[in-house]
Amino acid sequence: MTSSSEPSASDTGGISHSPPKKLWLLIFCIATACFFTEIPSAKGRPFSAADPTVNHRDAGTNTASITIARKTENAYDKIILEAAHRHDVHPALIKAIIKAESSYNPRAVSRRGARGLMQLMPGTARAMGVKNSFNPKHNIHGGTKYFRHLLDQFKGNIRLALAAYNAGIERVRHYGRVPPYKETRSYINKVMSYYREYRSEMRMMARS
């Protein structure tokens, strides 16, 4: 998958009766702390998140931009948590895919026509029952449902599922492993790096 485009109006319409954002963030952190203590790695061993390696040389000058970026990412936490529980995918992994696919731009559109936060191709969106790929809720639920399907196809192997998300399921089946494409391998490494980072952050926030 690749980049996407524009969100539509909310599905519910009218006034929202959802709990305050701070409460959703607290729920998100607590749920994440308990969600999947172990996830299988590509080699079948349990995958445990380690503290990410961060370059702090420019921390002082980048603090404001990082804060803005985090606010943008956290705006979708409620939807991500709902999709995570519904489709049994770790929320940190969903966030990592979104970051790699569209950098949290709900209006992103790739040269190949992939759309929205999780960069759904039109055919994939239809197959997952997505009505509007530019609607964040539709896109995240559809993308997570599709990724769950890929995990099931490859027996929980995250790297192969990511390879299929990027290069296509048939290419992964053809090679029986991660295809020898530089772009796909780079994509997998990027998502896994984001995944470790988000998972570490969620754990620290839940403990604070």
Low-confidence ranges of the chain (pLDDT < 70): 1-69
Q: Tell me what pLDDT residue 68 has.
A: 66
What SS3 state is found at 101?
helix
Q: Tell me what pLDDT residue 145 has.
A: 98
Q: Tell me what pLDDT residue 5 has.
A: 38
Beta bridge partners of 120: 115
Domains of the chain by start residue, with CATH: 21-34+61-207 (1.10.530.10)
Q: Tell me what pLDDT residue 114 has.
A: 97
DSSP state of 39: E
Instruction: Report yes or no: 51 and 198 within 8 Å, Cβ to Cβ.
Output: no
Query: pTM (2 decimals)?
Result: 0.70
Instruction: Report yes or no: 196 and 27 within 8 Å, Cβ to Cβ.
Output: no
Tens digit of pLDDT for each residue in 107-119?
Answer: 999 999 999 999 9
Q: Tell me what pLDDT residue 67 has.
A: 65
Q: Tell me what pLDDT residue 24 has.
A: 57
Active site residues: 101
Closest CA to 115 of 135, 133, 138, 96: 133
